[in-house]
Structure 1
Amino acid sequence: MDSSDVELFADYHQIHLSDDGSTGDLSEAWTDQAVVDRLAVVDDAMAIGTSVNVTVAVGVEVLDAPPAADLADYDHVVEGSMQVRSGRIVVMGCTDYEPDAVRVPVPVGPVRVRAASSNLAEAERLGVDSDEAPQTMERLRVQVWPAPREEPVVLKRWVGESGLRQDR
């Protein structure tokens, strides 16, 4: 397993993953359902929704097979598929400068991505101040493994501390 950790500015409440060299346009992928699910997907790119519009801690793990289900450790978990032609994915905030973005080696071909968000209650409570300390920062674990293309799915949905659905 390979892993990379980075802190990224989640401008517009999103973190982007794309095949290196992708020209995929995620703007049309942000349907009402994608916003609720916190995942917008096109052929070779995806955007993962965040609770906050500030810096989030992002960990990327490259696996050989699907990970074990550890949903209890996370607040919101989604999966989607994308095509990787270059052997690298770009991991960045949506307004970051792409040439300077983190690149992570991954298998060529279709991959499955599981995005698991945690610490959402504390991050949402503090809002723009949530990124001032590691214990209050929203955390996003991204796991990538080779797998045939499948439709996006929400494995665990964050409904907020109030128990009400949190739609942006």
Structure 2
Amino acid sequence: MKKLDFYTSHHQFYIVDENHFSPDNGDLWTDRAFLERMPVSDEIIGISTASYGPIKGSFQFFNSPQALDDTNNFDHIVDGCLKVNSEKIQILDCPDLNVIYEVSVNNGDYCVRLYSSNLNIQDEDEGGDFHRIEIWPIENPFNRKVIKQFNPQQ
């Protein structure tokens, strides 16, 4: 497991196929994608954060599908699908697109599961939310599946 601790802005960061990411992704952040906290395009997955700055989390790659963790420990859980053609998956900050972390993989389709917690932070500039990312290869690609929807009123 790789611990993540980095700075990003605009309440977002990205998980991408190394050679196929374009910063011109105007249609990526739809109203539904904002609500479900994960915009998805073939080679791009956006991650919506509560923080506008410091991000903490973890990243783990698996060779097979993972069982769902205890949903009570997280505010939001969502799966997305990422197509990889470059043999590398990267995590990029926003807006500078610095590579925070990268992992070499086989080309193909991957499930990206995001577990988010502490989304009701009091000071977005100080951070406090946490994002656990799990990735594994899949045979049947899909768009996005919300497993647990965050409700800010709770």
For the criterion TM > 0.5, the same-fold answer is yes
The structure with more helix, counted as a fraction of residues: 1
SS of the residue aligned with 2:60?
A: strand
C-alpha distance in 1 between matches for 2:147 and 2:77: 5
SS state at 2:126 partner: helix
Unaligned ranges ≥5, structure 2: none
**One-letter identity of the residue aligned with 2:146:** V
State the partner residue of 1:143. 134
Q: Are 2:6 and 2:100, in contact at CA under 8 Å, matched by a contact in 1?
A: no
**In the TM superposition, what is the alpha-carbon distance from 1:80 to its structure 2 partner?**
0.6
| RMSD over equivalenced CA pairs, Å | 1.6
Counterpart position of 1:57: 56
Query: How much identity, in percent, do the aligned residues show?
Result: 26
- The answer to whether the 8 A contact 1:10-1:50 is kept is no
Equivalent pair of 2:40/2:143 in contact (CA under 8 Å)? no
1:21 is matched with 19
| Structure 1 residues 6 and 76: alpha-carbon distance in aligned structure 2, compared to 1, 3 A threshold | same
Shift of 1:103: 1.1
Q: Distance in 1 between matches of 2:117 and 2:134?
A: 14
Decide which of 122, 125, 133 is 2:122's aligned counterpart.
125
2:112–2:134 Cα contact (<8 Å) kept? yes
Q: Which residue of 1 aligns with 2:2?
A: 4
**How far does residue 43 in structure 1 lie from its aligned partner after superposition?**
0.9
Shift of residue 21, structure 1, vs aligned partner: 1.1
1:48–1:97 Cα change, 3 Å: closer
Distance of 2:104 and 2:72 partners within structure 1: 28
List alignment gaps of at least 5 residues for structure 1.
131-136, 164-168
2:85: which partner in 1? Answer: 85
The SS at the match of 1:112 is strand
What is the deviation of 1:129? 2.2
Q: Is the 8 A contact 1:26 1:46 kept in 2?
A: no
2: CA distance, partners of 1:31 / 1:146: 26
TM-score, normalisation: structure 2 = 0.89
Residue 151 of structure 2 is aligned to residue 159 of structure 1:
yes
Measure how far apart 1:32 and its partner are. Answer: 0.6
Shift of 1:97: 4.1
Amino acid aligned to 1:141: R
Provide the rounded CA distance (Å) in 1 between the counterparts of 2:25 and 2:66.
26
